[in-house]
Amino acid sequence: MYTKATKGSEQKSLFFTLEDTLDQRHPIYKLAGEINWDAFEEAFSKHYHAELGRPCKPIRLMAGLLILKHVRNLSDESVVGQWSENLYYQHFCGEREFQPAAPCEASELVHFRKRIGAEGMELIFRESIRVNGKDAEEREVVVDTTVQEKNITFPTDAKLQAKIIAKCREMAEAEEIQLRQSYKRTEKKLAAQRRFAPRNAEGRRRSRAAGAQIKRIAGVLVRELGRKLPAGHAAHGDLEFYGKVLAQKRGDTGKAYSLHEREVCCIAKGKEHKKYEFGNKVAIAYTRTTGVIVSVTSHRNPYDGHTLEETLEKHKELTGKRARKAIGDRGFRWRRRIGETLVAVPENGAAVKSKKYPRTTFHNKNHRFH
């Protein structure tokens, strides 16, 4: 249920308020006064029912926690835990007096993000651009891509097969379907055999055989549920996805790496300490001199140059102005212009050397000399 945030009364408290005790030159204190909190109140109130349900947390509190999470690069658990210890955090979220308890559970931030959706997160991002004023109006931007890693463990086919078995059991219990065999004891025995087999030829053979048996059990449960569920049931989509996971092989393209985060991709970054990262590619544009982030777009795993057009369009949508020049690394080398935007990329060392010291190529019938 939606409830409006209560405005502070004009009467002074018997104790000092946060405004009286905090340093007004602190960056978080100044940022709290520059953000248009009423815009969040008006935009997000439509996501709450006027009468039904438990009264919600103040919208300024939830939006403020999300902003602090990204400003200080914290997790949901960390920002909630630090809120009760940091007076500047509490003032930023609209509190007038010190609150010793946590503002909410960390999971409520997840529910709030789902409630406001991508449109709400874009509104918060748009407000962050507006707060920077003229610094965000620069017409030259630097573009780059990185990997936004998903919070999943290192994916293996063996783990996915075990999870599929557990999901099938949960689905059968929820739909009150009697399975011919649950395989609980069998799977437990096979899992131990696969993991703790001796490190010799016979142990490796037994481990591979146990893994193949677990995969067959997962396939049996998926097919049995597909037969027993009524036609048109929503769970058929999940079973079809499980079948795709069981059918994939090591060298296949477009593999599934997670059951609950199906858009996860395996992206090669070329780093020495971590050659592959599992997540999605994110394209970022920030102003050249002031460093204000003015555009963020999410993609699966395309070539960097293919993200450029969407990134520049999002920049124009958020700022109202099209970038005059976009500066990128060698990953954008095949694009020279996107509409009215000039794309500048550095040349490789061989190209620069050949221009500075030109070489003549001589040809004859059988040889080519440089």
pLDDT (tens digit per residue) in 52-79: 888 889 999 999 999 999 999 999 999 9
**pTM recorded for the entire structure:** 0.76
Look up tokens 């069998």; give the residue: 186
| Encoded amino acid at 90, one letter | Q
| The pLDDT of residue 240 is above 90 | yes
What is the model's pLDDT at position 250?
85
Three-class SS of residue 247?
helix
Residue 308 pLDDT class (50, 70, 90 cuts): very high
What is the model's pLDDT at position 35?
94
* Helix pair angle (106-131, 308-319), 10° resolution: 70
88-123 per-position pLDDT tens digit: 999 999 998 889 999 999 999 999 999 999 999 999
Three-class SS of residue 52?
coil
Please list the alpha-helical segments (H only) found in 196-263: 201-228, 235-247
What is the model's pLDDT at position 358?
45
Provide CB contacts within 8 A for 327, sequence distance 6+.
140, 141, 142, 143, 288, 344, 345
Give percent above pLDDT 90 in the chain: 63
| The pLDDT of residue 131 is above 60 | yes
Look up tokens 């009215």; give the residue: 340
Number of neighbours of residue 144 by Cβ within 10 angstroms: 17
Number of neighbours of residue 30 by Cβ within 10 angstroms: 12
Q: How far apart are CA 124 and CA 25, in angstroms?
A: 23
**What residue segments make up the domains of the chain, in order of their start?**
18-131, 157-247, 265-354
Q: How far apart are CA 65 and CA 93, in angstroms?
A: 7
- According to DSSP, the β-strands at 341-344 and 325-327 are parallel
First-to-final CA distance of the chain? 78
